[in-house]
Amino acid sequence: MKRLTRVIVFLLCIVLLAGCWDQKQVEKHAYVFAIGLDKGEENDPIEVTYIIVNPDYGSQQQGGGANEPAFETITFPANDIISAKDTANVIVAKEITYDIARLVSVSEDFAKEPDFIRWMYDLTKDPEIRRDLQLLVTKEKTSDFLKNNKPVLETRPHEYYKQALERGKETSMIPFSDLLTFFRITETGEDLYLSMYGTLEKTPTTNESTDNFKAGELKASGISGQAQFAGSAVFMQGKMIGTLTAEETRLAYLLNNTLNPQGMVMTFQDPKHEKYKVAGRVSLDSPAKVKLSIRDNKSPKINVHIPLNIKIFTNHSMVNYTKDYSKKEILKKSIEKELEQKMNTLVEKTKQEYKAQPFGWSLTARKKFSTIPEFNSYNWLKKYPDAEVSISVNVRLGQFGRQSEVPKMKELRK
Amino acid sequence: MRRKYMRSKAKREQSTPDIGSSIKETTIEKNLNKTVQIFQSLYSFPKNKDVTIRHFHIPALQKDAALLHISTITSAETIDTDILKPLMTINEAAQQIDDLITVPSTSKENKVKTICKKINEGSAAIFIDGEEEAILINVAKFEGRSVEQPQNENVVKGPKEAFNELAQTNISLVRKKIKSESLVAESFTISKRSKNELYVLYISDLVDDKLLANVKKRVQSLNTDSIQNLGILEQYIEERRYSIFPSTLYTERPDRAASFLEDGYIVLVMDNDPACLVLPATFWSFFHSSEDHYLRFMYGNFIRLLRLIALFISVFISAIYVAITNFHSEMIPGDLLLAIIATRDKVPFPGLVEVLLMELSFELIREAGLRVPTPIGPTIGIVGALILGQAAVQANIVSPIVVIAVALSGLSSFAIGDLSMNFAIRLMKFLFIFAAGLVGIFGITALFTVGFFYLVSIKSFGVPYFSPLAPSYQSSGDTIFRRTLQNELFRPGYVKPKDITKR
């Protein structure tokens, strides 16, 4: 009896002293799905936008909730995103939580500020914010983007953004950009960080290449208020310095030896007919092989070998690539050449324009040094613009669509 | 307080001796009338309606005799045709009674106490004038059920006979499965007043002598007036009376009892209990079912896996729901969280109360469903399913997800067939819910760790509860999964059988 009392008192002490301080009922919270950050006006450092999801939307629960909107968007000035949680309660009834937050959206203007990085580090402070949050850069003000982006079919925002960004990453039109990678690359200060780029503004342009566009540049009609996600925002040491097109993003994927993108469909010039292009599903046989040699503290020599497997789907020139080995070889060589050329242009662009690269090659360079101080004193960043980069693409042509042969035009129109 | 009571009880026992105990210690006399008088007084003869005394003359011996038996527990037919008829009709001179009566066995006793005991067990006693011994003939015929199908441990494939309330039948059912001279059914009288008989079954060339001695010591040292059945006996002989885990296996299947015997376990059988107790018991013996081995290897292991999942679901699912809705909303996928919030929105109670409310209702349905008289049984089902499931959700008292969680945990708890383990799991479930309500997943893991320490530490008749898994013993590895029968080479090492290999 005495022992039992002692045990009960002991357990009671644990409960009373430890308490349920972290306890919170799920339904007593407002769940922020996306956090938007804009440059503040005048004295306010930043402007915060929240997309707060409505759990009642679309549920079968009896008794109301059916006519409520899927989400609410609020924008207000704040000092930082942590105090913003409390500030938001001036407007929102429930306590704000970032538990299901999956997206941080910043405007291009804000990202280009030198002080931008100071606010980004707020994201590492709150335990509710996970490091796998997606980072999105919007061309316009993020508050406008989040407010006005009202997709017609995927009306629930978390579902929409999740699917749109996932799919964008699968097609490699937008880069894989989470907070963890952002902080990792920013802190090394040697590589470029690519972030997803999206906008609602439509600025259609015509380009020589089909994929050579950024978000907003695709000539699309018939869709109202829907954002475009394409291309990437380029960050250097935590500050945005430029943008890449969707095609450049895809090439950056292929050049990166730490990534293994599968299944992007690209178009190539048909070597047999100037007018037509062939479309093919490009996948890597293995991640790019990067060989890097550094001699006498000079700029590195970088050899990149990319083994590709391409399945050709279209054949508008109606040339018999399938059976004719020599023609197939011509197509193969043409694709290799085209890709190499485009990649070289991209590498040249990074050298000239950004003076750094987004391909993760600094990781390979590190392996050439036995200690970090040695690597630091080598100063990779200074040496990269003068690097000799040679790229070789090796294409293996796979099947030519479900029906591999097409009839000859001559036979078709006798 | 308790000690005082014990002392006074001891005093009482000393001061008031058993009624008639002085007579019981005596032996019977040559005088028939005197002997009959002794038994008449012992059995309160004319008042006690089913006690019958028949006076008659044996012509073959030229002597008077009396036959005493209790008519409700003896076979009148046997007494009539095999005892009275030959004794009263055969005229040829004979030396012995044994030469006259035609029953398989008789015995001679002179102690009043022993004679009484035999009569109470269903023997007929013949007292003969001038003899100092009574002749006892076993003509017992107790009323009971016939062998029926098991009620609780059902199988699809395998034998479908169950123990009943007659120990003789039960032992016969076991002997039918083990046709061996080394199967021993030793009997002990384990209570003082009701003189309940306990049969200890074991295979003499397999069972560990120490274990057997331990069990015998425990059943013989019981100091109580009456032990009606195994459920009561179990509580007398177990080591940890306050533990929530059972330490003896109660099974109504003779095939299970037989397979345990063949592994070197000890089986206890009693009258008045349609089951047997298997000692010692490990966690696995509650987790397993006899069908696991009757089914083919893959099928048997599939139901083992199902049962394991069911075990975890029934213990944890409600607790995890409480933990998630109170502490760890970030742990689950966004869509699921939003679905939970949407259903919780209009529920007035916190998650813990909600779950407890529903769990309690489920336990009530279960208990009431057991006790309800059969004719109105279906009503309980309707009340349970409709009122509690549908209406409670519609009235926003509980959220539908809680109904799913509780129903799932309730359903899963039935996958553990053993009643005692079933109770243990249901009680544990509540402990886990409280732990989750207090400190979330941390509470669940902490309680699980402590609970596991406890499980591994306890023993049943000297056998660690989680053996042969922890601590490891030589065995055929029949724990979570079983091997093919060809690979089950060893008897469980933890019961220390005399012969460890099965072939």
Q: Which residues contact B236 (CB under 8 A, 6 or more apart)?
A: B222, B224, B227
- Residue A207 is predicted with a pLDDT of 60
Per-residue pLDDT at B321 exceeds 70: yes
Collect all residues of chain A within an 8 Å Cβ-Cβ radius of residue B340: 26
**Of B330, B338, B438, which has the smallest distance from its Cβ to A55's Cβ?**
B338
- Residue B7 is predicted with a pLDDT of 52
Both B251 and B390 in a single domain?
no
When computed from its CA atoms, the radius of gyration of chain B, rounded to whole angstroms, is: 30
Q: Do A26 and B396 touch (CB under 8 A)?
A: no
B344 reaches A (C-beta below 8 A):
yes
- Secondary structure (DSSP) of B136-202: EEE-B----------SSS--SSS------S-HHHHHHHHHHH---TTEEEEEEE--SSS--EEEEEE
- Give the residue, B213 or A58, on which the prediction is more confident: B213
Q: Do B439 and A130 touch (CB under 8 A)?
A: no
Collect all residues of chain A within an 8 Å Cβ-Cβ radius of residue B346: 61, 63
A126 reaches B (C-beta below 8 A):
no
Evaluate whether the domain defined by A256-414 bears CATH number 3.30.300.210. yes
Whether B304 is covered by a domain: the verdict is: yes
- Most distant CA atoms of chain A, gap in Å: 106
Q: Which two tokens stand for residue A349?
A: 């662009």
Cis peptide before B471 (omega within 30 of 0): yes
Per-residue pLDDT at A201 exceeds 70: yes
Using CA atoms, how far residue A364 sits from A132, A361, A392, B443, in Å, is: 24, 5, 18, 45
Rounded (5°) CA angle A392-A394-A399 = 155
Using CA atoms, how far residue A45 sits from A120, A251, B82, in Å, is: 13, 37, 112
CA atoms within 13 A on the CB side of A7: 4
Question: For B24-73, how does the pLDDT look when each residue is reduced to its tens digit (9 = 90+)?
Answer: 778 888 888 888 888 888 888 888 888 989 898 888 888 888 999 998 99
Full residue range of the structural domain in which residue B19 is found: 2-138
Range scoring the smallest mean pLDDT among A2-16, B273-287, B311-325: A2-16
Shortest CA distance from B434: residue in chain A: A15
**pLDDT band at B163, cuts 50/70/90?**
very high
Q: How close B459 gets to chain A, by Cα (Å)? A: 22
**pLDDT band at B285, cuts 50/70/90?**
very high
Percent over 90 (pLDDT), chain B: 44
Number of domains in chain B: 3
B346 reaches A (C-beta below 8 A):
yes
- Give the residue, B16 or B165, on which the prediction is more confident: B165
| Three-state secondary structure of B415-427 | CCCCHHHHHHHHH
Q: Do B396 and A63 touch (CB under 8 A)?
A: yes
Tell me which DSSP letter residue B104 carries: S
A48 contacts A36 by C-beta, under 8 angstroms: yes
A185 contacts A359 by C-beta, under 8 angstroms: no
Q: Do B440 and A31 touch (CB under 8 A)?
A: no
Report residue B368: phi and psi, to 5°.
Answer: -65, -40
**pLDDT band at B17, cuts 50/70/90?**
very low
B397 reaches A (C-beta below 8 A):
no
Question: For B105-134, how does the pLDDT look when each residue is reduced to its tens digit (9 = 90+)?
Answer: 888 888 888 888 888 888 999 998 888 888
**pLDDT band at B16, cuts 50/70/90?**
very low
Alpha-carbon gap, residue A248 to B43, rounded angstroms: 108
Both B303 and B413 in a single domain?
yes
Q: Do A26 and B325 touch (CB under 8 A)?
A: yes
Q: What ranges do the domains of chain A cover? A: 25-245, 256-414
**For residues A41-69, average pLDDT:** 78
Shortest CA distance from B331: residue in chain A: A99
Collect all residues of chain B within an 8 Å Cβ-Cβ radius of residue A15: 438
Both B181 and B276 in a single domain?
yes
Per-residue pLDDT at B256 exceeds 90: yes
Both B301 and B274 in a single domain?
no
Q: Do B326 and A102 touch (CB under 8 A)?
A: no
Both B250 and B328 in a single domain?
no
**Of B326, B337, B342, which has the smallest distance from its Cβ to A56's Cβ?**
B342
Q: How close B206 gets to chain A, by Cα (Å)? A: 42
Average pLDDT, chain B: 87
**For residues A258-273, average pLDDT:** 86
**For residues B404-427, average pLDDT:** 91
Both B400 and B375 in a single domain?
yes
Q: Which of B28, B235, B204, B6 has its CA nearest to residue B126?
A: B28
Average pLDDT, chain A: 87
Collect all residues of chain A within an 8 Å Cβ-Cβ radius of residue B3: none
Whether B470 is covered by a domain: the verdict is: no
B107 beta partners = B136
Collect all residues of chain A within an 8 Å Cβ-Cβ radius of residue B347: 27
Using CA atoms, how far residue B336 sits from B319, B330, B340, B342, B343, in Å, is: 17, 11, 6, 10, 11
* Alpha-carbon B5 to chain mean position: 31
**pLDDT band at B14, cuts 50/70/90?**
very low
- Secondary structure (DSSP) of A52-92: EE-TTTT---SSS-TTS-SEEEEEEEESSTTHHHHHGGGT-
Q: How close A295 gets to chain B, by Cα (Å)? A: 50
Percent over 70 (pLDDT), chain B: 96
Question: For A151-173, how does the pLDDT look when each residue is reduced to its tens digit (9 = 90+)?
Answer: 888 888 888 888 888 888 888 88
A136 beta partners = A105, A196
**Of A23, A24, A56, which has the smallest distance from its Cβ to B345's Cβ?**
A56
Task: Give this complex's ipTM.
Answer: 0.81
B345 reaches A (C-beta below 8 A):
yes
A155 reaches B (C-beta below 8 A):
no
Whether B236 is covered by a domain: the verdict is: yes
Alpha-carbon gap, residue B94 to B92, rounded angstroms: 6
Both B333 and B431 in a single domain?
yes
Both B256 and B303 in a single domain?
no
Whether B153 is covered by a domain: the verdict is: no
Whether B434 is covered by a domain: the verdict is: yes
Q: Which two tokens stand for residue B210?
A: 């120490």
Q: Which two tokens stand for residue A40?
A: 């503040």
Both B273 and B307 in a single domain?
no
**pLDDT band at B397, cuts 50/70/90?**
confident
**For residues A332-342, average pLDDT:** 93
For the CA atoms of B400, B405, B410, B412, the dihedral, rounded to the nearest 10 degrees, stands at 140
Whether B500 is covered by a domain: the verdict is: no
Collect all residues of chain A within an 8 Å Cβ-Cβ radius of residue B334: 33, 100, 102, 158, 162
Q: Helices A157-170 and B334-344 meet at what angle, rounded to 10?
A: 170
A20 reaches B (C-beta below 8 A):
yes
- Residue B481 is predicted with a pLDDT of 92
- Residue B20 is predicted with a pLDDT of 58
**pLDDT band at B15, cuts 50/70/90?**
very low
A128 reaches B (C-beta below 8 A):
yes
* Alpha-carbon B260 to chain mean position: 15
Tell me which DSSP letter residue A213 carries: -
A411 reaches B (C-beta below 8 A):
no
Q: Are strands A192-199 and A239-244 parallel, antiparallel or unpaired?
A: unpaired
- Secondary structure (DSSP) of A219-246: ---S--S--EEEEEEEEETTEEEEEE-H
Q: How close A26 gets to chain B, by Cα (Å)? A: 5
Alpha-carbon gap, residue A125 to B218, rounded angstroms: 64
Shortest CA distance from A66: residue in chain B: B342
Per-state percent for chain A, helix, strand, coil, to nearest 5: 35, 25, 40
Q: Do B394 and A22 touch (CB under 8 A)?
A: no
Q: Do A158 and B341 touch (CB under 8 A)?
A: no
Both B317 and B422 in a single domain?
yes
B92 reaches A (C-beta below 8 A):
no
Q: Do A59 and B342 touch (CB under 8 A)?
A: yes
Both B309 and B455 in a single domain?
yes
- Residue B314 is predicted with a pLDDT of 94
Both B243 and B364 in a single domain?
no
Q: Which residues contact A357 (CB under 8 A, 6 or more apart)?
A: A191, A192, A347, A350, A351, A384
